Amino acid sequence: MKIHKEGRRILFVTLLILLALNLLMFYFNRGNALVNRLFAGATVIIFLLILQFFRSPFRHMFTHEDLLLAPADGKVVVIENVFEPEYFEDERKQISIFMSPINVHVTRNPISGLVKYFKYHPGNYLVAWHPKSSTQNERTTVVVESDAGPLVLFRQIAGAMARRIVWYVNEGDEVSQGEEFGFIKFGSRVDVFVPLDTEVKVELGQKVKGGETVICQLKV
């Protein structure tokens, strides 16, 4: 287990703020030791909650050119055929994974290949499970030409709590399955769009692990 690089500065600043608040509390409230101890305990809990959000556990990953791995930890909330308007402009199979604040928020490449398209969209902050969050929230869209052949689109989507999306890929990059392609801070969702003949390997409500759980198999 390690702390993700996106959280190190936030954790350092948070630690300084909480230490300062504790020092002020102990200085101005010397006569009430019980309250001071309760306040210190509460700040420790707050820090640990933020710390766990930025954890980056080791994953046992394997690679296979026609299998898509879950791009994030979370729960499968959508499996359906939809019209994808941004890049394909046709019907695709959509698989969506909701990431709660207690999930690991590293996002990983579901497939190896060449990045054919990338775009960042500023937007709203609807709750991540809202049907319109995929097209109205702040988001990034990545399209990869997989080593197996078919194009795969995956999208980071900010939620009601998430206020910053980080990405590490650009058009023309070669990406490897399971490697990090970004991070979303404090609650979010990832959508994956694949051809209609793709065989889905997960079910609605199933919990998945990024870089480990196989979510579908491309037809090649």
Active site residues per annotation: 188
Could you give the CA distance from residue 55 to residue 9 in angstroms, rounded to a whole number? 14
- Assign residue 185 a region: left if phi > 0, alpha if psi is -120 to 50, beta otherwise? beta
Is residue 182 classed exposed, middle or buried when 0-12, 13-18 and 19+ CB atoms within 10 A define those classes? buried
End-to-end CA distance of the chain: 36
Report yes or no: 105 and 136 within 8 Å, Cβ to Cβ: no
Torsion angles phi and psi, residue 176, rounded to 5: -115, 140
**Within 10 A of 79 (CB to CB), how many other CB atoms are there?**
16
How far apart (Å, rounded) are the C-alpha atoms in residues 180 and 167? 9
Helix, strand or coil for residue 38? helix
Residues in contact with 210: Cβ distance below 8 Å, sequence separation at least 6, in sequence order: 59, 69, 70, 71, 72, 73, 104, 106, 107, 108
